[in-house]
Chain A
């Protein structure tokens, strides 16, 4: 079974600064996908970024980038130039296979607060 671990329950960052959210996972699979989801106070789940395990290049989406270390089974999210709208819960998630029934395994989440 796959597990996703987010060991930091809460983090705080000053507006415009950079913050890194940690995530580790455990799997025996070789092909899989990793995600970071954001859940703001509205509670709408929003996909932030996705990484395919077979790709060596780290994914980047504007101010969001990941540090994917496959051997270490680590998948951290870096948020640059933090904005007040980044305040949310962030979930790291894992998915194997590419079938329509593929399940997402979520970590416990981290609450990020951006201070003005």
Chain B
């Protein structure tokens, strides 16, 4: 099956610093990746859609300057939380869209990254 990894799985950073989260499609190429945020016991909230080689499309209310997304290759997208604050603490999940072999463009999810800002 299609496997998506995220690194790191957990990260603790100090307020004011930046942290980068990587999302990789391990055995397929993904022209599109998605970044979600999830609070405990709540649903996934889409933050942005990332396309390889172009700028990410952010959902309404998501600060693009705070959450920098780069999709430099067909297997890697990164989310950088800049000048992190405690309210940015959350569970971040990425997914990658498989673009061949089946319909619809099914999303495969990474295992998530737990960010804690102290």
Contact = CB atoms under 8 A, between A and B. Distances in A.
A78 interface: no
Nearest to B59: A103
A106 B91 CA distance: 16
A102 B91 CA distance: 22
Given A98-B103, A101-B49, A45 B43 contact: no
| Dominant secondary structure of chain B at its interface with chain A | strand
A78 to B, nearest CB: 21
Contacts of A103: 34, 46, 49
Interface of A: 33, 42-47, 50, 52, 89, 91, 95, 97-104, 106-109, 111
Contacts of B34: 103-104
A46 B43 CA distance: 14
| Dominant secondary structure of chain A at its interface with chain B | loop
A59 B41 CA distance: 27
B43 A107 contact: yes
Nearest to B98: A100
Nearest to B100: A100
A44 B112 contact: yes
Contacts of B43: 91, 106-109
A43 B38 CA distance: 10
